[in-house]
Amino acid sequence: MDFESPHNAIYVEREGAIGYLKMNRPDKKNALSEAMWTAIPRALDMLEHDTNIRAIIVTSSSQSGFSAGVDIGELEAIAANPGRRESNRQAIRTAQRALARTEKPTIAQVWGACMGGGCGLALHCDMRFAATTARFGITPAKLGLVYPLNDTKQLIDIVGPSRAKSILFTGRTLEAAEALKIGLVDEVYSAGELAGKTKEFVEQVTAVSQFSVRNSKKFIRQILDGQIDDDADTANIFNAAQEGVDAQEGIRAFLEKRSANFSWNGRGGPQKQDS
């Protein structure tokens, strides 16, 4: 699949150090088919291995909505086939796990409806920026279904168990203001401002040391997965960073009272200066 073609249901764009992963199925309100779930990790992999890309924005190709959730029409056929039920479950899990564990920081940029599986996709991003027009809902209870355990953990990590129960037990829709209040989203802007404000924030992320950003993301994920103290790997990362090219540049820039020009690009370790 050509993930750089804007005619695809999932495609990528690049703008400087920012990569965009876009959902593009406007006739179905970006309802996520099994094929789209399968495509997401492959598209992410392109951006992950592009050393020019430092951060990824996950969004819709239009402002009409983020995603209405799983394709319910397709789900009826999937439900009747045990093999497809499992392949669809695995496709969803693989896509969301790839998004949550990609080394580069990810931001969901949300206009309009962000429902069910679409909300799950946003939950697996590092942060969520929403327009005032955004609406969020996790609706398996209205369909006689259950939300996957992995998605449920992500929701609890973000809003806490009581609020997760309120959302899951009712299947209700949350307006952007309530989503912001409970921490489901991190920032809310007008529809006209959202793209610019998201990009402005992401440019701050891309300007600092990517060695620091990616290892901070790694440490946070390990903590959320249950690790509570350093091990040999995390201790080595802490110590090795001090002789890396970014630390050398950062310290020099601080002493010289100038902006740092960080060069570490994710290939290998801290990358000592060539002798």
Tens digits of residue pLDDT in 88-107: 999 999 999 999 999 999 99
Higher-pLDDT residue of 1 and 82 is 82
**Which architecture does CATH list for 10-206?**
Alpha-Beta Complex (3.90)
Q: How confident is the model at residue 268 (pLDDT cuts 50, 70, 90)?
A: low
Helix (H/G/I), strand (E/B), else coil: 128: strand
Per-residue pLDDT reduced to its tens digit, 230-252: 999 999 999 999 999 999 999 99
Sheet-wide strand order for 55-60: 10-15, 18-23, 55-60, 106-110, 127-131, 187-189
Q: Are strands 173-175 and 135-137 parallel, antiparallel or unpaired?
A: antiparallel
Mean pLDDT value across the chain: 94
Instruction: Show me where the domains of the chain are located.
Output: 10-206, 209-275
Q: Domain 209-275: which topology?
A: Lyase 2-enoyl-coa Hydratase; Chain  A, domain 2 (1.10.12)
Rounded to 10 degrees, the C-alpha dihedral 226/229/235/237 comes to: 30
Question: With 80 as the cut, is the pLDDT of residue 168 above it?
Answer: yes
What mean pLDDT is predicted for residues 162-190?
98
Q: Is the pLDDT of residue 271 over 70?
A: no
